[in-house]
Amino acid sequence: MFPVIPEEQIERQLATTELAVGWDVLAFFFNSDHTRMKGHVHAGMEVGMVLSGELDMHFAEAELKCGPGDVWLCSMWEPHAWRVYAGTTNIALIFLPDLLTDQMSGDPPYLDLFASPPDSRPRVTDADLRQRMLAIGNDMHREMKQRGPFWKTAIRLDLLRVMSQLCRVRGASPPAVRQSAASDHLSNLARITPAVKLVQEQARHRVKVAEGAAACGLSRSQFQRVFRNAMGTSFGRFCLRARLAFAAHRLRHTGATVEAIAEAAGFADVSHLSKTFVRHHGCTPNEYRCVR
Protein backbone atom coordinates (compact mmCIF):
# COMPACT_ATOMS: atom_id res chain seq x y z
CA MET A 1 0.00 0.00 0.00
CA PHE A 2 1.37 3.42 -0.92
CA PRO A 3 1.88 5.93 1.94
CA VAL A 4 -0.68 8.52 2.95
CA ILE A 5 0.22 12.20 2.82
CA PRO A 6 -1.36 13.77 5.93
CA GLU A 7 -3.29 16.87 4.96
CA GLU A 8 -1.42 18.90 7.60
CA GLN A 9 1.72 18.48 5.49
CA ILE A 10 -0.02 20.23 2.61
CA GLU A 11 -0.57 23.99 2.67
CA ARG A 12 -3.88 24.70 4.39
CA GLN A 13 -4.83 26.81 1.40
CA LEU A 14 -5.69 23.52 -0.32
CA ALA A 15 -8.57 23.18 2.13
CA THR A 16 -10.44 25.72 -0.02
CA THR A 17 -10.23 23.48 -3.10
CA GLU A 18 -12.31 20.45 -3.98
CA LEU A 19 -10.26 17.82 -2.14
CA ALA A 20 -10.74 14.43 -3.71
CA VAL A 21 -8.31 11.99 -2.14
CA GLY A 22 -6.75 11.60 1.29
CA TRP A 23 -4.60 8.52 0.84
CA ASP A 24 -1.42 7.88 -1.15
CA VAL A 25 -2.12 10.66 -3.66
CA LEU A 26 -3.74 13.94 -2.65
CA ALA A 27 -5.76 14.89 -5.74
CA PHE A 28 -7.81 18.03 -6.18
CA PHE A 29 -9.24 20.40 -8.77
CA PHE A 30 -9.79 24.13 -8.65
CA ASN A 31 -11.56 26.72 -10.78
CA SER A 32 -11.11 29.99 -8.88
CA ASP A 33 -9.04 32.67 -10.56
CA HIS A 34 -6.11 34.26 -8.74
CA THR A 35 -4.51 37.01 -10.79
CA ARG A 36 -1.69 37.69 -8.31
CA MET A 37 1.19 35.24 -8.02
CA LYS A 38 0.44 32.87 -5.13
CA GLY A 39 3.33 30.97 -3.55
CA HIS A 40 3.20 27.31 -2.61
CA VAL A 41 5.55 24.64 -1.27
CA HIS A 42 4.88 21.13 0.05
CA ALA A 43 6.52 17.84 0.93
CA GLY A 44 5.23 15.82 -2.00
CA MET A 45 5.99 15.81 -5.71
CA GLU A 46 3.28 17.44 -7.82
CA VAL A 47 1.82 16.76 -11.26
CA GLY A 48 -0.74 19.29 -12.47
CA MET A 49 -2.68 19.86 -15.68
CA VAL A 50 -4.76 22.67 -17.16
CA LEU A 51 -8.07 21.37 -18.50
CA SER A 52 -9.35 24.72 -19.74
CA GLY A 53 -8.22 28.33 -19.60
CA GLU A 54 -4.72 29.53 -18.74
CA LEU A 55 -2.30 29.40 -15.81
CA ASP A 56 1.21 30.81 -15.24
CA MET A 57 3.69 28.79 -13.16
CA HIS A 58 6.73 30.48 -11.65
CA PHE A 59 9.85 28.71 -10.36
CA ALA A 60 13.07 30.30 -9.14
CA GLU A 61 14.72 29.15 -12.38
CA ALA A 62 11.88 29.38 -14.90
CA GLU A 63 8.41 30.66 -15.77
CA LEU A 64 5.91 28.50 -17.65
CA LYS A 65 2.68 29.52 -19.37
CA CYS A 66 0.21 26.62 -19.41
CA GLY A 67 -2.90 26.18 -21.54
CA PRO A 68 -5.33 23.26 -22.05
CA GLY A 69 -3.48 19.93 -21.96
CA ASP A 70 -0.25 21.43 -20.57
CA VAL A 71 1.31 19.71 -17.55
CA TRP A 72 3.51 21.18 -14.81
CA LEU A 73 5.82 19.21 -12.52
CA CYS A 74 7.20 20.15 -9.08
CA SER A 75 9.77 18.24 -7.06
CA MET A 76 9.69 17.83 -3.27
CA TRP A 77 9.74 21.12 -1.36
CA GLU A 78 10.39 23.00 -4.59
CA PRO A 79 9.09 26.57 -4.18
CA HIS A 80 6.66 27.56 -6.91
CA ALA A 81 3.92 30.10 -7.47
CA TRP A 82 1.00 30.37 -9.85
CA ARG A 83 -1.38 32.85 -11.42
CA VAL A 84 -4.77 31.49 -12.51
CA TYR A 85 -6.92 33.37 -15.00
CA ALA A 86 -10.73 33.51 -14.98
CA GLY A 87 -12.50 30.52 -16.53
CA THR A 88 -9.61 28.13 -15.86
CA THR A 89 -10.04 24.57 -14.57
CA ASN A 90 -6.99 22.70 -13.26
CA ILE A 91 -6.27 19.38 -11.60
CA ALA A 92 -3.24 18.60 -9.44
CA LEU A 93 -1.92 15.51 -7.69
CA ILE A 94 0.61 15.50 -4.84
CA PHE A 95 2.41 12.35 -3.70
CA LEU A 96 5.53 11.16 -1.91
CA PRO A 97 8.38 9.64 -3.96
CA ASP A 98 7.67 6.25 -2.35
CA LEU A 99 4.91 5.89 -4.95
CA LEU A 100 7.60 5.54 -7.60
CA THR A 101 9.66 2.85 -5.82
CA ASP A 102 7.12 0.06 -6.18
CA GLN A 103 7.19 -0.23 -9.96
CA MET A 104 7.71 -3.18 -12.27
CA SER A 105 10.82 -3.89 -14.28
CA GLY A 106 10.66 -2.01 -17.58
CA ASP A 107 8.63 0.90 -16.23
CA PRO A 108 9.65 4.40 -17.39
CA PRO A 109 12.25 6.41 -15.41
CA TYR A 110 9.62 8.56 -13.69
CA LEU A 111 12.13 10.27 -11.42
CA ASP A 112 13.87 11.78 -14.44
CA LEU A 113 10.84 14.02 -14.85
CA PHE A 114 11.41 15.69 -11.48
CA ALA A 115 15.22 15.55 -11.25
CA SER A 116 15.76 18.00 -14.11
CA PRO A 117 15.56 21.80 -13.69
CA PRO A 118 12.04 23.19 -14.32
CA ASP A 119 12.85 24.55 -17.78
CA SER A 120 14.28 21.16 -18.84
CA ARG A 121 11.29 19.07 -17.83
CA PRO A 122 9.27 17.68 -20.74
CA ARG A 123 6.39 19.76 -22.08
CA VAL A 124 3.38 18.94 -24.22
CA THR A 125 4.52 20.05 -27.67
CA ASP A 126 2.20 18.53 -30.28
CA ALA A 127 -1.54 18.41 -30.88
CA ASP A 128 -1.87 14.62 -30.64
CA LEU A 129 -0.17 14.46 -27.24
CA ARG A 130 -2.24 17.42 -26.03
CA GLN A 131 -5.46 15.59 -26.90
CA ARG A 132 -4.26 12.42 -25.15
CA MET A 133 -3.34 14.40 -22.04
CA LEU A 134 -6.70 16.18 -22.00
CA ALA A 135 -8.51 12.86 -22.32
CA ILE A 136 -6.63 11.48 -19.29
CA GLY A 137 -7.07 14.73 -17.36
CA ASN A 138 -10.81 14.86 -17.99
CA ASP A 139 -11.09 11.22 -16.88
CA MET A 140 -9.37 12.13 -13.60
CA HIS A 141 -11.55 15.20 -13.15
CA ARG A 142 -14.68 13.09 -13.63
CA GLU A 143 -13.44 10.44 -11.17
CA MET A 144 -12.71 13.13 -8.55
CA LYS A 145 -16.24 14.52 -8.83
CA GLN A 146 -18.22 11.28 -9.14
CA ARG A 147 -16.24 9.07 -6.72
CA GLY A 148 -17.59 5.87 -8.24
CA PRO A 149 -16.37 2.31 -7.52
CA PHE A 150 -12.54 2.05 -7.46
CA TRP A 151 -12.16 5.75 -8.28
CA LYS A 152 -8.97 6.04 -6.21
CA THR A 153 -7.33 3.26 -8.20
CA ALA A 154 -8.45 4.90 -11.45
CA ILE A 155 -6.83 8.21 -10.50
CA ARG A 156 -3.60 6.53 -9.43
CA LEU A 157 -3.40 4.67 -12.74
CA ASP A 158 -4.20 7.84 -14.71
CA LEU A 159 -1.37 9.65 -12.88
CA LEU A 160 1.06 6.97 -14.07
CA ARG A 161 -0.36 7.31 -17.59
CA VAL A 162 0.38 11.05 -17.59
CA MET A 163 3.95 10.50 -16.37
CA SER A 164 4.48 7.69 -18.89
CA GLN A 165 3.44 9.99 -21.74
CA LEU A 166 5.91 12.63 -20.50
CA CYS A 167 8.69 10.03 -20.27
CA ARG A 168 8.11 9.28 -23.97
CA VAL A 169 8.65 12.96 -24.72
CA ARG A 170 11.90 12.92 -22.73
CA GLY A 171 13.96 11.43 -25.55
CA ALA A 172 14.48 8.74 -28.15
CA SER A 173 16.88 6.52 -26.19
CA PRO A 174 16.76 2.81 -27.10
CA PRO A 175 14.33 0.79 -24.91
CA ALA A 176 17.21 -1.08 -23.23
CA VAL A 177 18.82 2.22 -22.22
CA ARG A 178 15.53 3.61 -20.88
CA GLN A 179 14.87 0.44 -18.90
CA SER A 180 18.38 0.51 -17.42
CA ALA A 181 17.98 4.17 -16.45
CA ALA A 182 14.64 3.48 -14.80
CA SER A 183 16.08 0.56 -12.81
CA ASP A 184 19.04 2.68 -11.68
CA HIS A 185 16.78 5.52 -10.56
CA LEU A 186 14.45 3.23 -8.65
CA SER A 187 17.42 1.56 -6.97
CA ASN A 188 18.92 4.92 -6.02
CA LEU A 189 15.59 6.19 -4.67
CA ALA A 190 15.15 3.09 -2.52
CA ARG A 191 18.66 3.57 -1.10
CA ILE A 192 18.11 7.19 -0.05
CA THR A 193 14.48 6.87 1.09
CA PRO A 194 15.48 6.66 4.81
CA ALA A 195 17.20 10.06 4.49
CA VAL A 196 14.16 11.56 2.74
CA LYS A 197 11.94 10.33 5.58
CA LEU A 198 14.39 11.70 8.14
CA VAL A 199 14.10 15.15 6.58
CA GLN A 200 10.30 14.86 6.44
CA GLU A 201 10.21 14.10 10.17
CA GLN A 202 12.65 16.88 11.06
CA ALA A 203 11.88 19.50 8.41
CA ARG A 204 12.57 22.41 10.77
CA HIS A 205 16.05 21.19 11.74
CA ARG A 206 19.40 21.17 9.96
CA VAL A 207 19.84 17.49 9.11
CA LYS A 208 23.52 16.95 8.40
CA VAL A 209 24.95 14.95 5.51
CA ALA A 210 26.50 12.53 8.01
CA GLU A 211 23.06 11.89 9.56
CA GLY A 212 21.48 11.24 6.17
CA ALA A 213 24.33 8.92 5.15
CA ALA A 214 24.10 7.00 8.44
CA ALA A 215 20.34 6.55 8.04
CA CYS A 216 20.97 4.98 4.62
CA GLY A 217 24.02 2.93 5.65
CA LEU A 218 26.23 4.70 3.10
CA SER A 219 29.49 6.61 3.28
CA ARG A 220 29.20 10.40 2.96
CA SER A 221 30.59 10.40 -0.59
CA GLN A 222 28.37 7.50 -1.71
CA PHE A 223 25.33 9.09 -0.13
CA GLN A 224 25.87 12.49 -1.72
CA ARG A 225 26.36 10.92 -5.17
CA VAL A 226 23.35 8.60 -4.93
CA PHE A 227 21.12 11.33 -3.48
CA ARG A 228 21.91 13.76 -6.29
CA ASN A 229 21.35 11.08 -8.92
CA ALA A 230 17.97 10.18 -7.42
CA MET A 231 16.60 13.60 -6.50
CA GLY A 232 18.35 15.91 -8.97
CA THR A 233 19.71 18.14 -6.20
CA SER A 234 22.19 17.96 -3.34
CA PHE A 235 21.14 16.76 0.11
CA GLY A 236 22.03 20.17 1.56
CA ARG A 237 19.78 22.01 -0.89
CA PHE A 238 17.00 19.47 -0.30
CA CYS A 239 17.17 20.09 3.46
CA LEU A 240 17.22 23.85 2.91
CA ARG A 241 14.02 23.57 0.86
CA ALA A 242 12.41 21.64 3.72
CA ARG A 243 13.34 24.35 6.26
CA LEU A 244 12.05 27.05 3.92
CA ALA A 245 8.81 25.08 3.57
CA PHE A 246 8.48 24.99 7.35
CA ALA A 247 9.07 28.75 7.48
CA ALA A 248 6.56 29.37 4.67
CA HIS A 249 3.89 27.35 6.43
CA ARG A 250 4.45 29.27 9.69
CA LEU A 251 4.29 32.58 7.83
CA ARG A 252 1.02 31.72 6.12
CA HIS A 253 -0.77 30.04 8.99
CA THR A 254 0.49 31.50 12.29
CA GLY A 255 0.92 34.93 13.79
CA ALA A 256 4.51 34.26 14.86
CA THR A 257 7.00 37.03 14.14
CA VAL A 258 9.49 36.65 11.33
CA GLU A 259 12.24 36.70 13.97
CA ALA A 260 10.68 33.74 15.80
CA ILE A 261 10.13 31.83 12.57
CA ALA A 262 13.73 32.40 11.44
CA GLU A 263 15.00 30.99 14.74
CA ALA A 264 12.58 28.03 14.70
CA ALA A 265 13.60 27.12 11.14
CA GLY A 266 17.31 27.16 11.95
CA PHE A 267 18.34 30.40 10.21
CA ALA A 268 20.98 32.65 11.75
CA ASP A 269 18.68 35.69 11.83
CA VAL A 270 15.92 37.49 9.94
CA SER A 271 18.36 38.75 7.32
CA HIS A 272 19.56 35.21 6.58
CA LEU A 273 15.98 33.94 6.24
CA SER A 274 14.94 36.92 4.09
CA LYS A 275 17.84 36.61 1.63
CA THR A 276 17.29 32.86 1.27
CA PHE A 277 13.52 33.29 0.97
CA VAL A 278 13.84 35.89 -1.80
CA ARG A 279 16.25 33.66 -3.71
CA HIS A 280 13.86 30.69 -3.65
CA HIS A 281 10.39 32.28 -3.53
CA GLY A 282 11.01 35.56 -5.33
CA CYS A 283 9.56 37.62 -2.45
CA THR A 284 10.31 38.53 1.16
CA PRO A 285 8.79 36.60 4.08
CA ASN A 286 6.39 39.47 4.81
CA GLU A 287 5.29 39.65 1.15
CA TYR A 288 4.69 35.90 1.14
CA ARG A 289 2.61 36.20 4.31
CA CYS A 290 0.36 38.86 2.78
CA VAL A 291 -0.57 37.05 -0.46
CA ARG A 292 -3.76 35.01 0.04
pLDDT at 154: 92
Q: Walk across the sheet containing 18-19 and list its strands.
A: 18-19, 25-30, 89-95, 45-52, 71-74
Report the share of the chain in percent with pLDDT over 70: 81
- Give tens-digit pLDDT for 166-185: 998 875 444 444 444 445 55
Q: CB of 94 within 8 A of CB of 26?
A: yes
In a domain, 244, yes or no: no
Cα–Cα distances in angstroms (integers) from residue 26 to residues 47, 52, 137, 153, 200, in the given order = 11, 21, 15, 13, 17
Cα–Cα distances in angstroms (integers) from residue 115 to residues 105, 120, 132, in the given order = 20, 9, 24
Residue 275 has pLDDT above 80, yes or no: yes
In a domain, 141, yes or no: yes
How far apart CA 246 and CA 285 sit, in angstroms, is 12
Kindly report the three-state secondary structure assignment for every residue of 104-168: CCCCCCCHHHHHCCHHHCCCCCCHHHHHHHHHHHHHHHHHHHHCCCCHHHHHHHHHHHHHHHHHH
In a domain, 283, yes or no: no
Q: What is the DSSP letter of 224?
A: H
Question: How many folded domains does the chain comprise?
Answer: 1
What is the average pLDDT across 138-151? 91
Tell me, what CATH number does 72's domain have? 2.60.120.10
Q: What angle do CA 233, 239, 241 make, to 5 degrees?
A: 80
How far apart CA 242 and CA 32 sit, in angstroms, is 28
For residue 152, what are the domain limits? 7-170
> Would you place residue 41 in the very low, low, confident or very high pLDDT band (cuts 50, 70, 90)?
confident
In a domain, 208, yes or no: no
In a domain, 16, yes or no: yes
pLDDT at 176: 42
pTM of the model: 0.75
What is the average pLDDT across 227-238? 86
φ, ψ (nearest 5 deg) of residue 43: -70, -35
- Give tens-digit pLDDT for 57-82: 988 778 899 999 999 999 888 888 88
pLDDT at 7: 39
In a domain, 43, yes or no: yes
In a domain, 133, yes or no: yes
How far apart CA 265 and CA 81 sit, in angstroms, is 21
